[in-house]
Amino acid sequence: MVLSALQFRRSAEVVSTPLPEPKPQPKGPVIGLALGGGVARGWAHIGILRVLEREGIRPKIVTGTSIGAVVGGCWATGYLDQLELFARRLTKRGIFNLMDFSLSGSGLVGGRRLREMLDEALGDRAIENLPTRFAAVATEYGTGHEIWLKRGHLGTAVRASYAIPGVFEPVKVNDKWLLDGALVNPVPVTTARALGATMVIAVNLNNEHFGRSTVISDRVAEPPPAETPDATGRSGLFRPVKDAANAVSYYFNGRPSTPSGTPSIASVMIETINITQDRIARSRLAGDPPDVMIAPKLARIGLFEFHRADEAIALGAEAAERMLPDLREVFDALAARQ
């Protein structure tokens, strides 16, 4: 077939068009940061992020459970400075003012004030529009499904992730009630890998529970003591009110306040979550270990001692400093494989 002059010129133009430059290959692995749950101990995440920023280590993927979702979400939106200032200024009275205690809902704390504060900080940001890939982990009430909130309203996702059972009210998302993600995935390494991370840095805030896996094979069960009224002469009828007061005391004193030493409602709930979180974290991390684990020494900080932010942030920074040689070694090793 004979080409016309116009067809030939067009064909020549197509052939002579220079090929596009190949896209530069990324240098080094894709870093993901998995921030674990730990209630007030989560302020340590701030210190860890500060050290990573100083060293030029900026994760492209951040996953968070519970307080890890709060700090991770604030970091992803560029709100970490304000969060740190807020945390360092917290006092016991300030914490009490944030907690709208209630006996009528499905949690001791309604969470309205905290929700308003987060909404003001995070605005109406959508997770999918953040400059960093982000996911908050939550647990579906009733089924126990692990839910990864990777799209939609950031503030709602963060609140669902920290909805501690019995303490904060569950959060409704797409007609499903969601609870604290620490019930199913306390340190979300698997989530970071699924989002594309090829090097995962995990932060475990509850690594100092020594002896948790011990089995006591022979313990004698004694008969229960006789029921006795409390110091006011009242017994079972007013116990819920007294237990609620004990719960408030536990938040701020870090111990049960019952004269007999019986654990309060809050102490039972928090210790139950501690045990569950520890058992699940051990199993999940054994099955899918991170490339680098940062484990701040936070045992002396109570789970609800939010007013000790200065100490927690410093301990987080200290733990990150200790792991810098390992971080560099792993990064270089993974980069050499590319």
Beta-bridged to residue 234, according to DSSP, are none
326 is catalytic: no
174: Cβ–Cβ under 8 A, 6 or more apart, which residues? Answer: none
Beta-bridged to residue 138, according to DSSP, are 147, 180
Q: Name the active-site residue from 180, 243, 278, 291.
A: 180
**Could you give the C-alpha distances from 38 to 146, 149, 225, 262, 292, in angstroms and in order?**
18, 19, 35, 24, 19
CB–CB of 199/330 below 8 Å?
yes
Beta-bridged to residue 149, according to DSSP, are 136
Residue 275's CB is within 10 A of a number of other CB atoms, namely 12
Torsion angle in degrees (nearest 10) through CA of 171, 177, 183, 189 = -80
Residue 123's CB is within 10 A of a number of other CB atoms, namely 12
In whole angstroms, give the CA distance from residue 98 to residue 304: 13
Q: Name the active-site residue from 4, 11, 16, 66.
A: 66
Q: How far separated are the first and last CA of the chain, in Å rounded?
A: 48
Could you give the 3-state DSSP secondary structure of residue 68?
Answer: helix
310: Cβ–Cβ under 8 A, 6 or more apart, which residues? Answer: 88
Q: Where are the beta strands (DSSP E) in the chain?
A: 31-35, 61-65, 107-109, 133-140, 146-149, 166-168, 171-173, 176-180, 199-203, 292-294
180 is catalytic: yes
Q: Report the run of H or E that residue 176 belongs to, with start and end.
A: strand 176-180
In whole angstroms, give the CA distance from residue 278 to residue 286: 12
Could you give the 3-state DSSP secondary structure of residue 335?
Answer: helix
What residues act catalytically?
A: 66, 180
